[in-house]
Every structure is written in structure tokens, then in C-alpha cells.
């Protein structure tokens, strides 16, 4: 930790303590007002008619210090959260590099600073130059290094019509782009703005909690005031300082102090996942998702079909068949072709250029649906079963049965024809991402329904969905199907989360409660979504759901803890204020004999518990996906019962410690 | 003596000797009987809540539609919150205004025989009190009211306030149940509540009470020439049985006689005591059970039943043992418990269960002088008032407990990382806001007047008991007014303009302000469509939720009063306790 950071956070803390800032948090505002009054009492005890012997003055000073620390710790926890999100926006700002752009004016180009560009300008970007502004490629193509924005180290090919992001670097060729944004409203600017706004604005849930806490605070304020009149009735003037301590102990300072920090921490944690959340609300919604729509390709499977096995036909030698497959795929540069060659290699087959001298390569085309090699009458062709049957008029029951079986397993069958006869079948499988099955079962443990959308046929979709344990799948799906699922679920008042990247996805993303857009997706998708994943990793949707739950749990747990604490404080402070009634000793369950030390102990507990809980507020409550009722039981035990018992023990210990240290007032 | 006779003899002897055991058993019998009748009635109420036809519809449907045609309303005219509440308020306001005028000018109206009359402050207090289903009576002499006032104002308002309360709960349930964006038609709800529920039950109870010997006559007085004092007493009679029936069925609680159910003409023996107890428990308890039927989740109704029973049994036993143990140092020899201010025909256990039942619902009837209760006994009775009547009045019980339910769902949902929802409806920040407002209104209405009154010495001058009992009595008075309960502890002259007006304002706010918040929540729910659940969110029907609800009611509802309870009744109790120890040493 460097000093600069500490200093910055200290300044932030002080800023957060300003009355006009803290007033947004009624609990802490009241605490600060009490601090001011207690300072006043400490300085002018006579004015309030409270005892001013030196022991009492020491007590007043202790109260002043403890109240100050309460406000300070609260502001500090917020500052720590804010400091983090400031660091995140700072790191985004670093991407904004000011460069000179070559703007096309008439026949030539003019050099214009990137900050002076306007939407619609046509700009030429040369190799190794930074792209000055968000735009669309209108001429040429080239590889762009977007690692600073997306974290993806591989350069991306951009052709006409693709969007490019400002501050990324063109590493090959030369392109002409048309600016699609004014400076100040570019993608990065927007993201900085989003993070800032999301940190500032409070979610509906947070507002509800604040209203509730303010209500409680109001009750306690009135109750404390009534104690003043009750003591007046008993012919005594209550010590205002004691009443202030009672008030501060009773109002929910613990949750009140940490509430703002929890909200900002959620945004920060999402940002750490490299996701830009447009609002805190989206994160909270994520916690309550009922249905999650997943794409098969890219989310559940890697999205590349790979050869996993080769089945020779009856009467065909195994090695010979492997060799045929390798030969047929030797010139095939598609990913499938390469994987077939690799599979053959791993089975001990090696082929070289010499083996194929004179052979002609038939490339794959979407019309023919096959590829292979041929030399006069000698040929090896692989392709779709139907295409091969039509082309070569071959039929083979065994092969057809095999193909069917493979597609039942979710694979793709590629039969191979050698000189008019089926030689065998290659099985391609789209590999299920490692670990996805566990993630899906976690999601299902959270009682969330999973729906998979895939362009594959029924059989494949069913296979994959059974493999990873999904609830529902939509085969042969078109982008509109996703939208329909979202609408269907929304009509049933369910909360829907989905991932999207294409322009087609934009309507569904906009309708979904949580729409996570991939950064490599289209601008329309990114604008419609309420979160953008800079790494373009769709599985992160599940992390967001997890986070959403965690933030809600943290709030609920701390609120419960805070309210439960009040029981002990009543039992400590009330007998201390009315120590003159010996009959009240039956309320003094902790047997704290010195009233002022007892009150101080309660206030010390009240203050330091905030410090102890700051890590919990910033890091979130530990959460393991279990059933709702187990989770509820567990959290009631820890934060409810714990909240009742812990302060009793802690206050007694603090009291004993103070007495042992010789503090006697 | 054969074996059966011996057995009977043994147990009779046992129950006479072990009065604590028999007292607890009597209390449980009361609760069981009330529960059985409430269970039966719950199906009827569920039908009303679901806007279905009931067994009475054939007879009452015509009457209801006649009245609706008369005022030009129809059940198809759904009202949103603003409209519904405005109509409710105006209707109540005009009824209150007319009642006030009747009382102020009762001497110029017929059926006024030697009526003493009321000063404006008392009339205001009385009208507001009966209008808001509170029935605090700052007067004890029945001569204060003419028969016209008794019938029109007292009995009339008793029906009106119960009907209004039940209509509000119908609107609330409808808001949750449907998604039409409105909460129904107030006048229709009111008429249904009166004709399909309150009136039939009142008639049944009246008949039972008449057979049990309670007067029902238009005769003026019984003149008693007391043998020893040679003084002539005029004991007013009247339609006591009817009043008694609606007083309890409508959870009103204001008696014909100032002494309320402690007066032999209102409550002569154990049987009428039981009938009256059951009749004020039955609608509130049945309404809670009906919720389970209406929302298609019987366990939910059962959960609410046990939550309320938890408080009920706890309070009843607390009050019973408080009274049973009493203040033994006063009677060093044979001690029968604290019988001061109790009717001997009814006894400790039946007095305490009656008193606790009257404060757990918003009835406030009493069959004993609460001011002579021991501090421990009074705590048991007081808890219901401080919780704003957990079982509530006719209709309002459903509204009140839902405020706690919404809050509990909110916290419990947060604790499991869900957004709150109830009956598959999302609870948004608006509902939390209104339920918070409604939860804090009650303590504010109690504590602020208490704090102010304690600071004004001349108001404290009419108290009879010294020291901490006065705090208890004031707390009781304001809690009773704010929760529209009407139970009176007394102990000081409540018929002072200050208390008359202050209580009146508390009753109005405690009734209509809370109802506004609660109906606003109903409106918010009425535009929401229920979610088709895959899996349950927080299970609001299991025992965990029940315990959480109890904890929330204690922490939010009760604990705020901790300092005042400690410095009032608890201090008196500790004081007595020390005296007792002193006497023993």
C-alpha cells in the first residue's frame, strides 16, 4: 500500500464526513449530529446541566472520540470502496490516448487532433497507428490489437462494415474509417461515465433498506427523548450524554455505516471481472434470476467441432482408413480438417506432400457439402451423408446406422467415400467446455432454470442438454427465438438473464432483466444490454448472478446483525442510566456494576464492530449455492442469533478489560 | 364408591387443589374452542375474500344490490387506492359528524330520559372512539347517552367501524389476489361485510346471549331499593344483548355499562364469558386462516395462526401467573391470588384470558378492573397493545400482520440473496416504504404523547396510584388509543379535555393513517401479476418463517418499548418483588 493511495482515501474519507454528503445516509447523519452535540457538551457541560467533575469529563471525551470514530469508520469504508472504483475508472482513462488523426478533406488529408474529431469524419489509419476514435471501417481491412480494451491478446481482423474502438491499435495494413462518435462520447468515455453513475446511484433495494433504517432511527430518537421525560417525571434530569450514547447504540449504526460501501463494492467486484455494469440495479437483479438463457456455442461448448474418433467400414483396414482420412484432410485448412489430421497423427499415421503428388484438392463449398482429393479415378471424399449418397449413388446400412448413432450423441458424422464405396465415418464432436457441467449444477442449485438456444438440430441439442444437465433447450433456434423466450418468461413475471452479441440479440437484451453483451459484439447489442463483458466470455454471466446474490445476502446479514444487537444494548444501557433504582438490577443481566464504564463498553463495541465488519461489507458474505431454506437457516443462526449473543459476550469482555486496565469513573 | 366415581373425585379434588394447573387448562380450553369456531368460519370468510357467493348470498344479495342501486354504485366499478380510500374516509367522516351532532343535541331528540349529556370534548372522543373501532369510553355512566344515542351512535358505529375494517381487508386481499389495477368497490365491500358476515354472526350471538340471561328490552330502568342503604338505584336496562353481540363480533369492546363485561348484566357467568370471548376472537382468527385458503396455501394460514397463538399463549400465561402469584406479602396466610377487581363468578384464569384476548384482538372489552392487576399481569395484557393488536380487529388484523410479513419477507429474502416477493408478487421499495411507515406510526403515536404528558405536572395530578404505575397507566392509555383497541386501565381521570382530544387524534391517526398506508400497498400489489414459480422463493409458510416473523414482531414491534416497559410495569413489579422478599425475610 503506497502513501499516495492512503492519502487519497483519507481525503475521500474527510469529504464523506461533510454534513452535506453524509445527509444522504440518515443513520450516519444523526450520528454526526450527535457528535457535534457531544463536543458541545464536553466543552460547555454547564450549559446542559450535566455533571462536570473530572471523571465525567473524561467520559464525555471518550464518547466524543468514539462517536468521531464511528462516523470516521463509516466514511472510511465508503472511501475505500470509492477509491477502488476510482482506480477502475483511472485505468479506463489510461486507454484514452490523444493522437493525431488523418482526416480526409477533399482530395488530401488534414492532420486533426483526436479530440477535435467530429462524428462522420473519414479518417485514414496507417499500420501501427492508434485508431483515434470509435468508427466503422469503410475501406480496407487489417488486424487490430484490442488487448487494452478487451484483454484479448489475439489481434482481430477487421473488414469493411466492422466497428473499431478508439485507442486500439491497427497492426497491419491500412484502413479508412468513418467516425461514429464525437470525442467525449466514445465507448471508453461511456464506460467511465457508466461506472461513475453506477457508483453514485442507489438501487431500489438499497433505497428500501435506507427507508426502513431511517424509520427505525426515528423510533429510537423518540424513545430516547421519552426517557428524558420519564426521568423528569421521576424527579431527575437525565444526563444528555448518556441519552446520546443510548441513541447511538440503538440506531442501526452497523448497517447504516456500511450500507453505501456494500453497494459500491458490488460495482467494483463486477468491474474486477472485467464487466462494465451500467447500473447497480442490474447486479441486484442478477441475484434474483429465475431463468437464464445460454447459447450453446461459446458458452456450453467450445464452439469448434473436433474429430474424436474414426470408424472404418466393415472389411476396411483400420490403419488404411486412418490414412485415407489424413490424406483427404491434408489440404483442408478448416478447423475440422486440421483436427482430423491431428487425430490421425496421434494414431501413428504420418502423411506428407509426397503422398499426394498429382492429387487435386476439392475444397468444401456450401453447395456441394463435401471435400477431398482426387486423381483421375482414385478419390477420397468426405462430407455430409446425404451429399455423398447423391453424388456417388452409394448406400450402406452400417454406415447410415453409425451416422445416426453419432448424431444421437450430439456429434457430427462425416462419412468418407473411397472409390465408390464407403470407407468409414469420422466422428466430430463440439467439445463441452471443461467445468461447465459443475457451473450448470451450481446454477441449478440456486434454483435457476437454464434454457439453451442452439442452431443445431433436435438430436444434438437434446444430447448436449442432457450431458450438462439443462432444463430446457431450443433446437434450430433463430435469434428471434431468444427474444420469444425472454418475452415468455417476462409474461410469467420471471427474471431473465441472457448473453448476446449480435445485432439480432439487441431486442432480447433490452427486454431481459440482466443482459450481458459481449464486447466483441455489435454496437447495438452493447447499447441494449445492461452489462458489457470486456473479455467476451459468456460463462461470466454465472459469476454475475453469484455476485448479485452475494450483495443482497451481505445487506440482509448485516441488517439482521445490526438489529439483533439492540437487545444486548438495552440490557446494558437502561440499567446504567437508571442505576439509582436498585430494583432494576434484574435487567442488569451482565452484572456491570459501574454504570459509566458499562455505557462506554457498549459504545466501544458499537464502534469497533464496524471496523470488524468492513472486510465483510467490501468482500461480501461467504456464499455457497445451497437450497434457500438451508441458506436461510444458516444465516439466521450466524447473523441473527450471533447478533443477539455476540454483543453480550463482547461488551462483558470490554467491560472487564476496561476494569482490568484500571478505568474507573 | 366405584372406580369411576373415585376417579372423578380424585380429579375434581386435584383441580381444586392445583389451581395453577386448572387455570392453564381453562385458558387452553378457551383457545381451543375459539380456534375450532374460527376454523369453521374461515371457509365462509375465504369465500367473501374470493368474491364468491356465500351461504347468505341468496338472502342478502338482493339487499346488497338494493342499497347499491340506491347510492348508484356497483361491484363492477373498481376503485383504485385513492378513490377507495377517499370514499371510505368520507363515508366514515359523515357518519362521525352525524353521530357527533346526535350526541350534542340528544336532549332535543326523542328517547332521551334524564340524559346527563356530554361536553364537546367527551362527545368528540366518544364518537371518534366508536367510529375507529376503538371504543375507549372516557365515561362510565350510561346516563350520559340517550337511548337514541346508544342505538344510533354506539350500536350504529359499532357496525360501521367493523364493516369498514373488514372492507379494507377485503380490498387488501383483492389487491394481492388480482391484477386488475384496482382494489374493488368500497361500498360493495362494506355491504358484503355487514350483511354476509357481521350481521348474521351478531344475530346468532344475540340469541345465545339472550338465552344466557342477558337483558334485551326497551324498558327504562330497574329500580332497586337497596335493603341496607335505603337508597334508590336506577339501573338502566336496554338492548344489552344486541349491543353485547356486536360489541364482541365487531371487536369493538365498548360496553353498555361503564364497567363493561365486568358488569353482571353484560356478562353474568362463565358461559357468557366464553361466548363473548369466542365471539371477539372468531372473525380476526378466521380471517387469518382464510388467507391460507384464499392464497391457495393452507400452510400459510396455519403459520399465521401459530404466530398469533405464540403471542396469545405467552401473554395469557404471563398475565395468568402474574395474577395468580399476585402480591403474596399482602396475605401471609392463605392466599388465593390477586382477586382485587375481579368478578368471583369468573375467576383469575377466565379474567386474564378474556383481558389478553381483548388486547390481542382490538376489542378492548374487559371483565375485570385492569387497574388492580399486578404489574406482571398487566405486562401480559399490555404486550398485545404494544404490538398494535397482533390478531387485530375485524379486518385490520390482516392488514396489521401483513406489514410485519412484508418486512420479514424483505429481510429474509435479502439473507438468501433473493429480491423479496410475497404470494409470487414482487415487493418493491414502495411497499417496503409504506410498511415501514405503518410499522413506525404506532410506536410514534404511543411514545410522543407519553413523553409530552409526563412533562406536564397538572395532567399528572389526578392519578391514584403512585410512582411507576402512572407510567404504566399512561402507556396503556395511549397504546390502547393508538392501536384502536379501547381497553381501559384507568387509574386517572381520563375525561379531561386534554386526554379526550389527544386520544381522539391518536385514534384517528392510528386508524386511518395506517389504513391509508396499508391500502396503498394493496394498490401497489393490484397492478402486479403473479409470477409463475419454478421453485419457491422464500417459503412463507414454514416454521422458520414463522419464527422469523415472531422475531421481527418482537424486535421491531416490542423492543422499542423496552425502556418504557422497564421503567413502568417492570419497575413496579421489581418493587413488589422486593417487598415480597422483604416480607419473607
Per-residue pLDDT tens over the stretch B169-228: 999 999 999 888 889 999 999 999 999 999 999 999 999 999 988 888 777 677 777 666
- CB–CB contact A555 B433 (8 Å): no
- CB–CB contact B416 A220 (8 Å): no
**What is the rounded CA–CA span in Å between residue B376 and residue B8?**
34
Over range B531-555, report the average pLDDT. Answer: 85
- CB–CB contact B548 A636 (8 Å): yes
Task: Note if the pTM is more than 0.90.
Answer: no
- CB–CB contact B413 A552 (8 Å): yes
What's the Rg (C-alpha) of chain B? 24
In 3D, which of B538, B285, B311 has the Cα closest to residue B421?
B538
Pairing mode, if any, of strands B421-422 and A163-164? unpaired
**What is the rounded CA–CA span in Å between residue A614 and residue A83?**
14
- CB–CB contact B447 A564 (8 Å): no
Residue A531 main-chain phi, psi, to 5 deg:
-145, 150
Distance from CA of B496 to the nearest CA of A (A): 20
Report which listed range, A109-118, A377-386, B253-262, B270-279, is most confident: B270-279
Residues of chain A where predicted confidence (pLDDT) is lower than 50 = none
Pairing mode, if any, of strands A156-158 and A142-145? antiparallel
Q: Among partner residues A228, A290, A584, which is closest to B571 by beta-carbon distance?
A: A584
- Asked if A332 is an active-site residue, the reply is no
Torsion from C-alpha of B439, B444, B447, B451, nearest 10 degrees: 170
H or E element at residue A415:
strand A412-418
Question: What pLDDT shows up at residue B585?
Answer: 42
The three cell numbers locating residue B582? 422483604
* Closest alpha carbon within chain A to B443: A219
**What is the rounded CA–CA span in Å between residue A211 and residue B571?**
34
Q: How many CB pairs under 8 A join A and B?
A: 190
- CB–CB contact A556 B542 (8 Å): no
Q: Sign of torsion, CA A535 A538 A541 A542?
A: negative
**What is the rounded CA–CA span in Å between residue A171 and residue A363?**
30
Q: Measured between beta carbons, which residues in chain B are less than 8 angstroms from residue A550?
A: 417
- CB–CB contact B562 A232 (8 Å): no
Q: Measured between beta carbons, which residues in chain A are less than 8 angstroms from residue B452?
A: 229
Q: Among partner residues A208, A563, A578, which is closest to B429 by beta-carbon distance?
A: A208
Terminal-residue alpha carbon distance, chain B: 46
Q: Is A259 on the interface with B (CB under 8 A)?
A: no
User: Which carries the bigger pLDDT value, residue B315 or residue A329?
Assistant: B315
In order of A344, B192, B280, B394, the CA distances from B251 in angstroms are: 88, 18, 5, 6
**H helix intervals, A347-473:** 385-392, 397-408, 436-445, 458-468
**What is the rounded CA–CA span in Å between residue A391 and residue A67?**
87
Residues sharing a CB contact under 8 Å with residue B35, sequence separation 6 or more, in sequence order: B285, B305
- CB–CB contact A285 B471 (8 Å): no
Which is the catalytic residue, given A121, A145, A295, A513?
A295
Over range B117-139, report the average pLDDT. Answer: 89
Question: What pLDDT shows up at residue B524?
Answer: 92
**What is the rounded CA–CA span in Å between residue B316 and residue B422?**
31
How many CB atoms within 10 Å of residue B14?
A: 11
* Closest alpha carbon within chain A to B529: A493
Q: Among partner residues A228, A290, A631, which is closest to B416 by beta-carbon distance?
A: A631
Interface of B with A in 507-566 (CB under 8 A): 528-532, 534-539, 542, 544, 548, 551, 555-556, 559-564, 566
H or E element at residue A473:
strand A472-474
Q: In which band, very low, low, confident or very high, does the pLDDT at B520 lie, cut at 50, 70 and 90?
A: very high
Q: Measured between beta carbons, which residues in chain B are less than 8 angstroms from residue A293?
A: none
User: Which carries the bigger pLDDT value, residue B573 or residue B533?
Assistant: B573
**What is the rounded CA–CA span in Å between residue A347 and residue A354?**
20
How many CB atoms within 10 Å of residue A574?
A: 21
Interface of B with A in 428-487 (CB under 8 A): 428-429, 432-433, 436-437, 439-440, 443-444, 447-448, 450-452, 454-455, 460, 470-471
In 3D, which of B249, B195, B187 has the Cα closest to residue B48?
B195
What's the whole-number average pLDDT of chain B?
A: 87
Q: Among partner residues A229, A449, A640, which is closest to B534 by beta-carbon distance?
A: A449
The three cell numbers locating residue A214? 431511517
Over range B28-35, report the average pLDDT. Answer: 95
Which residue, chain included where needed, has cell 386501565?
Answer: B489
Domain coordinates in residue numbering, chain B: 390-584
Best residue of B418, B438, B475 to probe chain A, by most A CBs closer than 10 Å: B418
Q: Measured between beta carbons, which residues in chain B are less than 8 angstroms from residue A287?
A: 417-419
Question: What pLDDT shows up at residue A154?
Answer: 67
Cα atoms found within 13 Å of the Cα of residue A239, Cβ hemisphere only = 25
Residue A395 main-chain phi, psi, to 5 deg:
-145, 145
Q: Look at phi and psi of residue A476 and say left if phi exceeds 0, alpha if psi is from -120 to 50, else beta.
A: left
Best residue of B376, B414, B470, B524 to probe chain A, by most A CBs closer than 10 Å: B414
Q: Measured between beta carbons, which residues in chain A are less than 8 angstroms from residue B407?
A: 212
In order of A438, A489, A511, B166, B179, the CA distances from B176 in angstroms are: 39, 21, 25, 16, 8
Q: Measured between beta carbons, which residues in chain A are less than 8 angstroms from residue B416?
A: 549, 553, 556, 628, 631-632, 635
How many CB atoms within 10 Å of residue B578?
A: 14
**What is the rounded CA–CA span in Å between residue A630 and residue A599?**
37
Q: Sign of torsion, CA B265 B269 B272 B276?
A: positive
Question: What pLDDT shows up at residue A458?
Answer: 80
Q: Among partner residues A494, A564, A584, which is closest to B566 by beta-carbon distance?
A: A584
Cα atoms found within 13 Å of the Cα of residue A651, Cβ hemisphere only = 32
* Closest alpha carbon within chain A to B470: A233
Distance from CA of B161 to the nearest CA of A (A): 29
Terminal-residue alpha carbon distance, chain A: 40
| Residue B511 scores a pLDDT above 90 | yes
Q: Is A558 on the interface with B (CB under 8 A)?
A: no
Helix, coil or strand: residue A349: coil
**What is the rounded CA–CA span in Å between residue B394 and residue B362?**
8
In 3D, which of B384, B389, B378 has the Cα closest to residue B569?
B378
**What is the rounded CA–CA span in Å between residue A552 and residue A88?**
23
Q: Among partner residues A207, A284, A563, which is closest to B419 by beta-carbon distance?
A: A284
Per-residue pLDDT tens over the stretch A332-376: 777 788 888 888 888 888 888 777 778 888 887 767 778 888 887
Q: Measured between beta carbons, which residues in chain A are less than 8 angstroms from residue B470?
A: 233
Question: What pLDDT shows up at residue B185?
Answer: 92
Q: In which band, very low, low, confident or very high, does the pLDDT at B579 lie, cut at 50, 70 and 90?
A: low
Per-residue pLDDT tens over the stretch B65-84: 899 888 888 888 889 999 99
Interface of A with B in 448-487 (CB under 8 A): 449
**Contact (CB, 8 A) for A497 and A292:** yes
Question: What pLDDT shows up at residue B1?
Answer: 67
Region of poorest pLDDT, from A350-359, B301-310, B354-363: A350-359
| Residue B401 scores a pLDDT above 50 | yes
Per-residue pLDDT tens over the stretch B318-328: 999 888 887 66
Amino acid at each position: 500500500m503506497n502513501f499516495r493511495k492512503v492519502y487519497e482515501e483519507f481525503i475521500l474519507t474527510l469529504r464523506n464526513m461533510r454534513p452535506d454528503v453524509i445527509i444522504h445516509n440518515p443513520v450516519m447523519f444523526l450520528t454526526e449530529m450527535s457528535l457535534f452535540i457531544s463536543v458541545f457538551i464536553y466543552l460547555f457541560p454547564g450549559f446542559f446541566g450535566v455533571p462536570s467533575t473530572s471523571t465525567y469529563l473524561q467520559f464525555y471525551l471518550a464518547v466524543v472520540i468514539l462517536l468521531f470514530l464511528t462516523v470516521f469508520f463509516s466514511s472510511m469504508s465508503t472511501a475505500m470502496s470509492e477509491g477502488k472504483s476510482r482506480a477502475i475508472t483511472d485505468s479506463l482513462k489510461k486507454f484514452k490516448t490523444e493522437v493525431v488523426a488523418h482526416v480526409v478533406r477533399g482530395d488530401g488529408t488534414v492532420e486533426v487532433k483526436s479530440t477535435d474529431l467530429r462524428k462522420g469524419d473519414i479518417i485514414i489509419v496507417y499500420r501501427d497507428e492508434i485508431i483515434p476514435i470509435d468508427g466503422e471501417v469503410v475501406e480496407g481491412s487489417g488486424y487490430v490489437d484490442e488487448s487494452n480494451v478487451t484483454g484479448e491478446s489475439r489481434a482481430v481482423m477487421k473488414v469493411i462494415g466492422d466497428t473499431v474502438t478508439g485507442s486500439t491499435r491497427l497492426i497491419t495494413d491500412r484502413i479508412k474509417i468513418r467516425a461514429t462518435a464525437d470525442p467525449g462520447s466514445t465507448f471508453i468515455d461511456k464506460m467511465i461515465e457508466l461506472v461513475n453513475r453506477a457508483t453514485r446511484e442507489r438501487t431500489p433495494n438499497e433505497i428500501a433498506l435506507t427507508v426502513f433504517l431511517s424509520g427505525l432511527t426515528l423510533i429510537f430518537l423518540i424513545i430516547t427523548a421519552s426517557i428524558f421525560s420519564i426521568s423528569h417525571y421521576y424527579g431527575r434530569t437525565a444526563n444528555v450524554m448518556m441519552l446520546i450514547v443510548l441513541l447511538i447504540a440503538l440506531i442501526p449504526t452497523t448497517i447504516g455505516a456500511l450500507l453505501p460501501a456494500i453497494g459500491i463494492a458490488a460495482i467494483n467486484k463486477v468491474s474486477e471481472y472485467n464487466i462494465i455494469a451500467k447500473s447497480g440495479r442490474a447486479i441486484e437483479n442478477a441475484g434474483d434470476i429465475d431463468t437464464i438463457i445460454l447459447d450453446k456455442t461459446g458458452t456450453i461448448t467450445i464452439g469448434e467441432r473436433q474429430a474424436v474418433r474414426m470408424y472404418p467400414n466393415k472389411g476396411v483396414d483400420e490403419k488404411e482408413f486412418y490414412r485415407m482420412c489424413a490424406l483427404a484432410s491434408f489440404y483442408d485448412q478448416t478447423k475440422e480438417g486440421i483436427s482430423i489430421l491431428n487425430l490421425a497423427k496421434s494414431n501413428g499415421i504420418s502423411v506428407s506432400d509426397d503422398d499426394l503428388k498429382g492429387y487435386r484438392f476439392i475444397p468444401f463449398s456450401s453447395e456441394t457439402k463435401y471435400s477431398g482429393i482426387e486423381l483421375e479415378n482414385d478419390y477420397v471424399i468426405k462430407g455430409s451423408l446425404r451429399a455423398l449418397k447423391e453424388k456417388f449413388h452409394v448406400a450402406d446400412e452400417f454406415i447410415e446406422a453409425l451416422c445416426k448413432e453419432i448424431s444421437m450423441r450430439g456429434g457430427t458424422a462425416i462419412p468418407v467415400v473411397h472409390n465408390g464405396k464407403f470407407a468409414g465415418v469420422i466422428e466430430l464432436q463440439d467439445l463441452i467446455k471443461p467445468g461447465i457441467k459443475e457451473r450448470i449444477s451450481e446454477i441449478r442449485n440456486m434454483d435457476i432454470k437454464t434454457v439453451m438456444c442452439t442452431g443445431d438440430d433436435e438430436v444434438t441439442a437434446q444430447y448436449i442438454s442432457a450431458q450438462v444437465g439443462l432444463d430446457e433447450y431450443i433446437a434450430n433456434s433463430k435469434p428471434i427465438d431468444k427474444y420469444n423466450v425472454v418475452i415468455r418468461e417476462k409474461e410469467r413475471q420471471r427474471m431473465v438473464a441472457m448473453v448476446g452479441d449480435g445485432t439480432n440479440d439487441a431486442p432480447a437484451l433490452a427486454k431481459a432483466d440482466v443482459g450481458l453483451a459481449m464486447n466483441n459484439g455489435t454496437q447495438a447489442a452493447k447499447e441494449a444490454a445492461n452489462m458489457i463483458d470486456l473479455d467476451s466470455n459468456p460463462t461470466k454471466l454465472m459469476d454475475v448472478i453469484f455476485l448479485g446474490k452475494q450483495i443482497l445476502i451481505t445487506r440482509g446479514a448485516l441488517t439482521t446483525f445490526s438489529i439483533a444487537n439492540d437487545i444486548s444494548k438495552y440490557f446494558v444501557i437502561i440499567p446504567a442510566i437508571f442505576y439509582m433504582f436498585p430494583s432494576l438490577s434484574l435487567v442488569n443481566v451482565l452484572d456491570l456494576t459501574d454504570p459509566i464504564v458499562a455505557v462506554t463498553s457498549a459504545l466501544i463495541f458499537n464502534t469497533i464492530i464496524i471496523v470488524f465488519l468492513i472486510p465483510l461489507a467490501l468482500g461480501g458474505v461467504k456464499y455457497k449455492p445451497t437450497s434457500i431454506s438451508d441458506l436461510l437457516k444458516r444465516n439466521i443462526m450466524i447473523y441473527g442469533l450471533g447478533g443477539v449473543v455476540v454483543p453480550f459476550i463482547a461488551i462483558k469482555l470490554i467491560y472487564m478489560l476496561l476494569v482490568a486496565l484500571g478505568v474507573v469513573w | 364408591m366405584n372406580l369411576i366415581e373415585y376417579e372423578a373425585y380424585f380429579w375434581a379434588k386435584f383441580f381444586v387443589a392445583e389451581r395453577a394447573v386448572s387455570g392453564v387448562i381453562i385458558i387452553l380450553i378457551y383457545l381451543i374452542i375459539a380456534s375450532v369456531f374460527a376454523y369453521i368460519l374461515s371457509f365462509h370468510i375465504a369465500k367473501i375474500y374470493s368474491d364468491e357467493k356465500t351461504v347468505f348470498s341468496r338472502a342478502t344479495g338482493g339487499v346488497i344490490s338494493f342499497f347499491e342501486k340506491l347510492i348508484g354504485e356497483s361491484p363492477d366499478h373498481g376503485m383504485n387506492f385513492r378513490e377507495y380510500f377517499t370514499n371510505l374516509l368520507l363515508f366514515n367522516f359523515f357518519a362521525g359528524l352525524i353521530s357527533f351532532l346526535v350526541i350534542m343535541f340528544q336532549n332535543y331528540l326523542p328517547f332521551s330520559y334524564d340524559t346527563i349529556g356530554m361536553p364537546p370534548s367527551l362527545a368528540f372522543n366518544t364518537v371518534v372512539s366508536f367510529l375507529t373501532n376503538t371504543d375507549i369510553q372516557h365515561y362510565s355512566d350510561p346516563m350520559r347517552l340517550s337511548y337514541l344515542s346508544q342505538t344510533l351512535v354506539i350500536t350504529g358505529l359499532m357496525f360501521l367501524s367493523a364493516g369498514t375494517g373488514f372492507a379494507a381487508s377485503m380490498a387488501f386481499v383483492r389487491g394481492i389476489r388480482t391484477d386488475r389495477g384496482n382494489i374493488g368497490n368500497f361500498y360493495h365491500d362494506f355491504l358484503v361485510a355487514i350483511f354476509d358476515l357481521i350481521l348474521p354472526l351478531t344475530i346468532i350471538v344475540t340469541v345465545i346471549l339472550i338465552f344466557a340471561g342477558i337483558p334485551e328490552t326497551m324498558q327504562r330502568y330497574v329500580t332497586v331499593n337497596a335493603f341496607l342503604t335505603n337508597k334508590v338505584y336506577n339501573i338502566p336496562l336496554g338492548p344489552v344483548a344486541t349491543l353485547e353481540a356486536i360489541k364482541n363480533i365487531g371487536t369493538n369492546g365498548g360496553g353498555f355499562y361503564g364497567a363493561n363485561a365486568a358488569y353482571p348484566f353484560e356478562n353474568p357467568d362463565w358461559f357468557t364469558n366464553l361466548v363473548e370471548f369466542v365471539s371477539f376472537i372468531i372473525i380476526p382468527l378466521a380471517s387469518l386462516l382464510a388467507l391460507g385458503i384464499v392464497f391457495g396455501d393452507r400452510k400459510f394460514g396455519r403459520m399465521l395462526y401459530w404466530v398469533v397463538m405464540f403471542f396469545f399463549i405467552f401473554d395469557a400465561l404471563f398475565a395468568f401467573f402474574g395474577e395468580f402469584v399476585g402480591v403474596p406479602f399482602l396475605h401471609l396466610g392463605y392466599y388465593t391470588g390477586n382477586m382485587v377487581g375481579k368478578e368471583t363468578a369468573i375467576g383469575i384464569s377466565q379474567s386474564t384470558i378474556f383481558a389478553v384476548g381483548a388486547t390481542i384482538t382490538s376489542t378492548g372489552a374487559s371483565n375485570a378492573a385492569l387497574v388492580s392487576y399486578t404489574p406482571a399481569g398487566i405486562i401480559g395484557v399490555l404486550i398485545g397493545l404494544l404490538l398494535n393488536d397482533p390478531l387485530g380487529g375485524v379486518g385490520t388484523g390482516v392488514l396489521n400482520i401483513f406489514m410485519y410479513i412484508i418486512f420479514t419477507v424483505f429481510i429474509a429474502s435479502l439473507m438468501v440473496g433473493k429480491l423479496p416477493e410475497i404470494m409470487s408478487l414482487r415487493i418493491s421499495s414502495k411497499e417496503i416504504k409504506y410498511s415501514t411507515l405503518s410499522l413506525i406510526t404506532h410506536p410514534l403515536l404511543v411514545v410522543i404523547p407519553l413523553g409530552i404528558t409526563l412533562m406536564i405536572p397538572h395532567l399528572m395530578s389526578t392519578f391514584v396510584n403512585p410512582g411507576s404505575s402512572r407510567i404504566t397507566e399512561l402507556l396503556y392509555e395511549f397504546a390502547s388509543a393508538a392501536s384502536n383497541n379501547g381497553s381501559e386501565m384507568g387509574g386517572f381521570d381520563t375525561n379531561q379535555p386534554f386526554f379526550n382530544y389527544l386520544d381522539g387524534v391518536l385514534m384517528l391517526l392510528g386508524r386511518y393513517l395506517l389504513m391509508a398506508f396499508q391500502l396503498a400497498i394493496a394498490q401497489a400489489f393490484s397492478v402486479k401479476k403473479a409470477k409463475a414459480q419454478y421453485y419457491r422463493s422464500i417459503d412463507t409458510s414454514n416454521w422458520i418463517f414463522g419464527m422469523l416473523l415472531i422475531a421481527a414482531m418482537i424486535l421491531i414491534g416490542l423492543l422499542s418499548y423496552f425502556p418504557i416497559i422497564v421503567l413502568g410495569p417492570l419497575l413496579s413489579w421489581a418493587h413488589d418483588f422486593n417487598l415480597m422478599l422483604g416480607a419473607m425475610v
